[in-house]
């Protein structure tokens, strides 16, 4: 599918409040096949997610340690996770350390997922993901670990107010760019 047709299809799924505010743009260099084109999502004419550039105002993480040391990341820990660590350590670890261990393990897992998701952003990947988004259900896109699928689902008109409001806890575990688009969508309700 050509880019213009794909863009038209993608924009037809935008929620009415974001139509005209969110734009998808992709450029390529016809006579320079070795030079990658630009691809970005703009909100109110401002490039928010540039697929090739890590200098956007959204925080991009370079290492697992940056994620672990970021005070803005809130990882919810439930009682089952603490109980699993208690069983692994056979009760030899003090109670206050169990929470620290559980948080550290969950942060490591979260950091690996986030870095993997960040590394896959490129123009060619955007076109593949956009085609995938158009052919899969909205539930799969929301539940996916892919940053782009999450963003496309959040700005989709098929995601209603009730579903958006019920996603608050899930969004705390997503990449900051996904959280940005979630906040954008919340502002339109």
pLDDT in tens, the chain (189 residues): 787 888 889 899 899 999 889 998 877 666 555 555 677 888 998 888 776 555 555 566 677 778 778 887 778 888 898 888 888 888 888 888 888 888 888 888 887 777 766 665 655 577 788 888 999 999 999 888 888 889 999 999 999 999 999 998 888 888 888 899 999 999 988
Cα angle vertex 21, ends 55, 162, to 5°? Answer: 100
- Same-domain pairing of 101 and 15: no
- Same-domain pairing of 160 and 72: no
Give the total number of structural domains in the chain.
2
Q: What is the pLDDT of residue 184?
A: 93
- Residue 63: count of CB within 10 angstroms of its CB: 10
- Residue 123: count of CB within 10 angstroms of its CB: 18
Token reading at 106: 């969950």
Domain that holds residue 126: 3-52+121-187
In a domain, 17, yes or no: yes
How many whole angstroms separate alpha carbon 134 and alpha carbon 24? 14
Q: What is the pLDDT of residue 129?
A: 83
- Same-domain pairing of 93 and 174: no
Q: What is the pLDDT of residue 153?
A: 92
Q: What is the pLDDT of residue 29?
A: 61
Q: Is 41 helix (H, G, I), strand (E, B) or coil?
A: strand
In a domain, 59, yes or no: no
- Same-domain pairing of 72 and 127: no
- Same-domain pairing of 82 and 127: no
Cα angle vertex 128, ends 13, 184, to 5°? Answer: 40
User: Cα separations (Å) of 93 from 20, 103, 118, 170?
Assistant: 55, 15, 35, 30
How many whole angstroms separate alpha carbon 187 and alpha carbon 73? 21
- Same-domain pairing of 173 and 94: no
- Same-domain pairing of 125 and 48: yes
Q: What is the pLDDT of residue 119?
A: 62
Q: What is the pLDDT of residue 37?
A: 60
Torsion of CA 61, 66, 72, 73, to 10 degrees: 80
The model scores a pTM over 0.85: no
In a domain, 58, yes or no: no
Q: Is 22 helix (H, G, I), strand (E, B) or coil?
A: strand
């Amino acid at each position: 599918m050509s880019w213009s047709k794909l863009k038209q299809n993608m924009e037809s799924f935008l929620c009415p409040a974001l139509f005209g505010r969110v734009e998808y743009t992709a450029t390529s260099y016809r006579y320079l096949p070795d030079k990658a084109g630009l691809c970005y999502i703009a909100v109110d004419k401002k490039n928010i997610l540039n697929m090739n550039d890590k200098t956007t105002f959204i925080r991009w993480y370079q290492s697992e340690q940056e994620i672990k040391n970021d005070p803005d990341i809130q990882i919810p820990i439930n009682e089952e996770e603490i109980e699993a660590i208690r069983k692994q350590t056979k009760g030899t670890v003090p109670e206050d350390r169990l929470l620290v261990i559980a948080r550290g393990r969950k942060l490591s897992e979260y950091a690996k997922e986030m870095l993997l998701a960040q590394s896959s952003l490129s123009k060619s990947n955007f076109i593949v993901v956009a085609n995938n988004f158009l052919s899969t259900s909205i539930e799969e896109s929301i539940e996916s670990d892919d940053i782009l699928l999450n963003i496309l689902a959040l700005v989709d008109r098929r995601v209603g107010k009730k579903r958006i409001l019920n996603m608050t806890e899930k969004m705390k575990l997503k990449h900051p760019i996904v959280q940005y688009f979630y906040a954008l969508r919340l502002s339109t309700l």
